[in-house]
Amino acid sequence: MIETDDLAVKGDYHDILVVCPTCKAKKELKIPIKIINQAKQLTTVSIPAGAVCEHSFQTFVDKNFIVRGYQIVDFEFSHMEFYESSDTELGETDDPTSKLSSQQLFQDIISLLRGYVDDKEILGSGMFTVDGHVLYSSLPSNTLFSIIKEFEVRSEKKLSSLKKMYLELENDQKICSNYIEIQEMRFALVLFFSQTVKLGMGNLYLNDLVKKIRKLEN
């Protein structure tokens, strides 16, 4: 069991000014520094309606916390999302994780993860490398920091060969993770469940998610 104490402090965030590409409304948002620092190139931040204005949109943030651009989207998301994206201006990269993030398969996996979140039973989702590098997350900030720390510790202790991971928070919310190999690389899929979901049901959701990703690969 891990605690739900606020692991994030002021120094964990950086304020960036975002501007809605539709109505030009402006607002400063707090962005987790660790996610930006982890990214090889750009980080896509999906901003839900209500965070800045009535519109949903995406912004692209570089490693210096500079907004490189915006995008109007034709789909809805209920939580702020972070995921790694490629910058064509920077050219090709030999990093296998960055190569995956530039492929349509990665976008399809994100769509799957996004679709699982219903704000009733599943409160967030994510995809990580085995050492805690965030590839995609719609997890609440405190949960996200807890997950990153957990993966980092398990990686340091050489426990990344485990197939699944189950964590229970003090408030009975659950975090379930399934390790999966995609294009000869190992990743961890994460689903964050409400108090009402039993671990057995969480495992069924994870198994279903893995099956759907396998179909995407074929």
Predicted confidence (pLDDT) per residue in 62-77, tens digit: 999 999 999 998 877 8
High-pLDDT (> 70) share of the chain, %:
87
Pairing of strands 134-137, 81-85: antiparallel
In this predicted structure, which of 58-72, 105-119, 143-157, 174-188 has the lowest mean pLDDT?
143-157
Q: What are phi and psi of 183, to 5 degrees?
A: 50, 45
Final residue before a domain boundary, out of 93, 115, 134: 93
The count of domains in the chain is 2
Last residue of a domain, one of 93, 123, 138: 93
Summarize pLDDT for 27-39 with one digit per residue, the tens: 999 999 989 998 8
HSE (side-chain half, CA atoms, 13 Å) at 194:
9
Confidence of residue 185 (pLDDT cuts 50, 70, 90): confident
Q: Do residues 16 and 28 lie in contact, with contact meaning Cβ atoms separated by under 8 Å?
A: yes
**Amino acid letter for position 104:** Q
Range of the domain at 25: 11-93
Q: Which residues contact 163 (CB under 8 A, 6 or more apart)?
A: 178, 179
Q: Are 72 and 159 in a shared domain?
A: no
